[in-house]
Amino acid sequence: MTRWGMVIDLEKCVGCDTCSAACSQMNHVPSGAGWRQVIPLDTPKLGNPQNGRLFLPTNCMHCGDAPCQTVCPTTATFRHADGIVDIHDELCIGCGYCVVACPYLARTITRYDEVYAFTPELLPAATDRSGICTKCDFCLPRVEAGLVQGLTPGIDAAASPNCVNFCIADAIHFGDLHDPDSNISRMIQAKPTMRLQEDLGTDPAIQYVMRADYPGMNGAAVELVPPRKQKVWHKPAAFNFILGGTGAAVYLLGLWLDWLGAPVTDWYKLLAPVLIGLGLLGLTLEAGRPFRSVHIFRGWRHSWMSREAWAAAFFLPLAAAAWLWPDSLLDWLAALAALAFLISQSFIVYRSRAVTAWNRPIILWVMVAASFVSGAGLFLLAAALFHQAVISYLAAAGLVSVLAQGGLWLVYLHGSGDKAFDLGTAVLRKPRSLLATMGLGVVVPLILLAGMLLVDLPALLLGVTAVISGGAMLLGSAGLKAQLILQAGYLRGIQAGPVR
């Protein structure tokens, strides 16, 4: 079976960017996007003995195990049998999840005003490509058309990608990686080559010819491109994690109180779906193509974002029905959906492969603990106003979740990290940030919650203490999630693997 791939000769590339210009023009790539980048490398760091310059042309690596495909909630991203990773434009909702999952900086979400910005007469016809993800497709239409004519991609120009044809230095080669006699297989056998981000196990289909004797290479992986901040998930994404997590935890805590026989009324069964619904609504409006959002249900087999949508779709009507018919099986079915929603949200963050501050197992627990802290905080606020009898239960639950959140956050911040993790979490370790997450979110509630549990406070003081601790928990936990999404999101740098 054919697997299309490339060999790019870094010793030949002169950094002229002709390939990028040709690619953008021939493929009508929106001006704000770029299917290719030619990145000047910091060669003194590599120790280039000739003191020359090196340039790294990159595009989609058409990974054998593509993180972008795994996370895509709509199945818009898919892989052809010949290995080319492609996008069904008509399914893409522009959620940006693939952008924070791709470790090669290969994807962009287009904006309406950037599509054909230099050829406005084409704008109406191009609206179908606005607000969605775009990336290199190895010029698949040319390759397929060439094959129909009996041509050989990589050998015959009419069947080869545009960047290959336009490269002025003969640095880019295209062919079949699975054919040992193909042009690129022979190059790989004859010359020292390396692949990018080799340690991630993504099996990229692009190999780079590169000498192994740069002292900076040292036979090991070396960073070629520094990390950069993610720019696709903004405040609506953070709000979804804050509101959705709080809503799910409120429901689970309410049912727990019910199960214990605590005197709690059913208001939480309505508030929880409202919070989850508001979070998802905000997120939907941030997507590039919100009116196609129904496609999000297609990718449940592999995407946690799709599973989050399914969990919400079950939870919202179940919670409403449980409010109408209390003390029934519906309560527990809704609780299961709330739990699935909470777990899905945590995995959405964790599976963002390109953001190293999110892509670590402890983040799963941080997200769950923070949700229970904000849920218990909101419940405490309501309990102070409406039913003080449950405050002691909530104080106990709050104490456990606040302790868990504080401990997990400290372990997370002191975890050993790569450069993107260190960059992203540097601001989270600053005193001002710690004052919000640890001071407001952990220390203040811990003291007040312990006071409520250990001291027999008069009703008024108990209510005031519950309000202050609940508010602190809510704000501290929301601040933690907001900082995690908005500040710590650095896309990992690109590393050269060992030269073979």
Q: Which residues are near ligand SF4 by CB under 6 A? A: 60-63, 66-68, 71-74, 76-77, 85, 87, 92-98, 102, 104, 106-107, 132-133, 135, 202
* Cβ neighbours of 193 (radius 10 Å): 22
Closest CB to ligand SF4 among residues 102, 402:
102
Considering beta carbons, is residue 184 or 309 the nearer one to ligand SF4? 309
Query: Residues 264, 390: contact at Cβ < 8 Å?
Result: yes
Nearer to ligand SF4, 71 or 428 (CB): 71
Q: Which is nearer to ligand SF4, 73 or 479 (CB)?
A: 73
Choice between 60 and 167, CB closer to ligand SF4: 60
Query: Rounded to the nearest whole angstrom, what is the least distance from the CB of residue 101 to ligand SF4 in the complex?
Result: 7
Nearest approach, Cβ of 299 to ligand SF4 (angstroms)? Answer: 8
CB 442 within 8 A of CB 405: yes
- Residues β-bridged to residue 57: 38
Q: Can you tell me the distance from the alpha carbon of 48 to that of 18, in angstroms, rounded to the nearest whole number?
A: 24
Characterize the bridge pairing of strands 222-225 and 172-176.
Answer: unpaired
39 forms beta bridges with 56
Report the nearest approach of ligand SF4 to the CB of residue 241 (Å). 17
> Least distance (Å) from ligand SF4 to the CB of residue 234?
14
CA distance 294 to 194: 41
Q: Find the shortest distance in angstroms from Cβ 110 to ligand SF4.
A: 10
CB 280 within 8 A of CB 294: no
Minimum separation from the CB atom of position 131 to ligand SF4 (A): 9
CA 396 vs CA 161, 256, 389: distances in Å: 63, 12, 13
| Shortest Å, Cβ 489 to ligand SF4 | 16
Cβ proximity to ligand SF4: between 22 and 132 the closer is 132
Rounded to a whole number of angstroms, the minimum distance from the CB of residue 204 to ligand SF4 is 7
Q: How far is the CB of 92 from ligand SF4 (least distance, A)?
A: 3
Nearer to ligand SF4, 72 or 449 (CB): 72
Cβ distance to ligand SF4 smaller for residue 93 or 373: 93
Alpha carbons 146 and 148: distance in angstroms, whole number: 5
Please state the closest distance from residue 88 (CB atom) to ligand SF4, in A.
Answer: 8
Q: Which residue number, 77 or 401, has a Cβ lying nearer to ligand SF4?
A: 77
Nearer to ligand SF4, 83 or 441 (CB): 83
Q: How far is the CB of 68 from ligand SF4 (least distance, A)?
A: 3
Other Cβ atoms within 10 Å of 155 Cβ, number:
14
Give the max Cα distance, the chain. Answer: 88
Name which of 114 and 422 has its Cβ closer to ligand SF4: 114
Given the complex with ligand SF4, which of 87 and 420 has the nearer CB atom? 87
CB of 174 to ligand SF4, least distance (A): 16
Beta carbons of 105 and 26 less than 8 angstroms apart: no
Task: Give the closest residue to 470 by CA, choosing from 384, 371, 342, 365.
Answer: 384
The pair of three-digit structure tokens given for residue 225, joined into one six-digit string: 């491109």
